Amino acid sequence: MLSRRYIVVVLMVVALTACNRGIEPGVLRFSHFWSEPAQRAYMDTLLAGFHREHPEIPVEVTELSWSDGKTKLMVGFNSETAPDVLELGSDWVAQFSSSGVLMPLNSGEGAGVGALHAIEARFSNAPKYSLPSCMWQGHYYAVPWLLDTRVIFIHDEFLAASSDPANRSDQTDWTWQSLQSSGEAIHRTGAPGIGVNGPDQHRLYKKFLPYVWSNGGNLFDSAGHPTMNSSQNIEALRYYIDQLQNGMMETQKNLDDAFVRGKLGIWFSGSWLLPRLEKAPFHWHTVLFPGNDGHSGESFAGGEYLAINNHSAMKREAEIFLEYITRPSNELAFARQVNEYPADVRSQSDTFYLHRREGPVFTEQLQHARMTPVIPQWLDVEAIIEDEVSMALYKKETPEQAMAAMQRRTEERMKQP
């Protein structure tokens, strides 16, 4: 039987080791990406509520940026200084969970049984498409927290000024054909008809994939094998490129700015544009992303997930914190403030979303959306996709050549660890 003196010595050694790494014992560390001033204020309010409820658990916050936050988290895990609770993008979770650095959330292994049980309930109330992203080998490793999607924005006055009487701002049966004809008609007025996202790291693939899905295509089959060069995917890329005939190619930021300034007719973007368009000096509206050839329109869904460090010395406290921050009422309050959707489907029909302008369109699009394939190599595959789509946009490869190269390069990457 271990003596009390021995246990005390061990605890002192653990504490000193943590201090040597710059970690203060007994303080829960939380990293997130909401660093803009207004977002930080909302987060501070959320954390203040946790402090009132659990004054015995001090929380240290680290703000990350999307440009280098993932790298900093990976360095933290390698140096054993990673936070206890961390926010991850939906397309990152597989890479982290497959590395064994995240704590399973549905295995019953946690110390805080009550909190862990409440966390597990979150999975049954999240959209089905959001669950594969947080799973690995039968276990959940992250909790869906916030979601968002993208829809088609239409400049009504450009559409009305076009010469084609078939183009109406009130039409609801949009298809790839009507989208193309509307872009052509607007282009004839002298304005760019449609925005085409060009080379743009971590953004181009989000614009391209909905065309693949909405044409009945997929990048991988059910067994995880690449299917990049299918006829559906080639057709999707050809259509994406053909939009350039009646539009303009730019980065997402520049195309967002162009639409807000009334310089672009049709643009595929997200709810972050809504506040900027509140005082727009022109009429506009949104429509669901259209499908093609009998297939339903499927948009891209991005998500923010929360996870626990598998090597945290404060797993019980981390579970309590995770339960608090993903509690439906807290999740909804924060999501409303930062203009995203809560992952809990019951909260997505909150009056805030249904009553805000274009809210019902975004709410419905969330029911017809997908996330990236769940593979540990996804970020490398993402780069391959964006590279080959860019090659086709610049006419350096045909759609057939680009998708064949995408297939070959992805197969080669999938063979590597």
- How far apart CA 117 and CA 337 sit, in angstroms, is 27
**In the prediction, which pLDDT does 14 show?**
39
Share of the chain above pLDDT 70, in %: 90
- How far apart CA 252 and CA 207 sit, in angstroms, is 9
Q: Average pLDDT, whole number, for the chain?
A: 90
List of long-range contacts for 330-333, beta carbons under 8 Å, 24+ apart = 330/46, 330/49, 331/145, 331/146, 333/46
Check if the beta carbon of residue 378 is closer than 8 Å to that of residue 206. Answer: no
Q: What is the pLDDT of residues 232-271, one digit of tens each?
A: 999 999 999 999 999 999 999 999 999 999 999 999 999 9
**In the prediction, which pLDDT does 15 show?**
42
- How far apart CA 154 and CA 341 sit, in angstroms, is 22
**Phi and psi for 266 in degrees, rounded to 5?**
-135, 135
Angle between helices 378-393 and 399-414 (to 10 degrees): 160
- How far apart CA 174 and CA 268 sit, in angstroms, is 13
Q: What is the pLDDT of residues 149-188, one digit of tens each?
A: 999 999 999 988 875 555 555 556 799 999 999 999 999 9
Structural domains of the chain, ranges and CATH numbers in brackets: 4-148+302-370 (3.40.190.10), 149-301+374-414 (3.40.190.10)
Q: Please state the pTM of the whole predicted model.
A: 0.87
E-only strand ranges, 52-169: 59-63, 85-89, 135-136, 139-140, 143-155
Q: What is the pLDDT of residues 13-52, one digit of tens each?
A: 334 444 445 678 899 999 999 999 999 999 999 999 999 9
- How far apart CA 182 and CA 193 sit, in angstroms, is 7
- How far apart CA 205 and CA 93 sit, in angstroms, is 18
Average pLDDT over residues 268-291: 95
E-only strand ranges, 188-271: 194-197, 247-250, 266-270
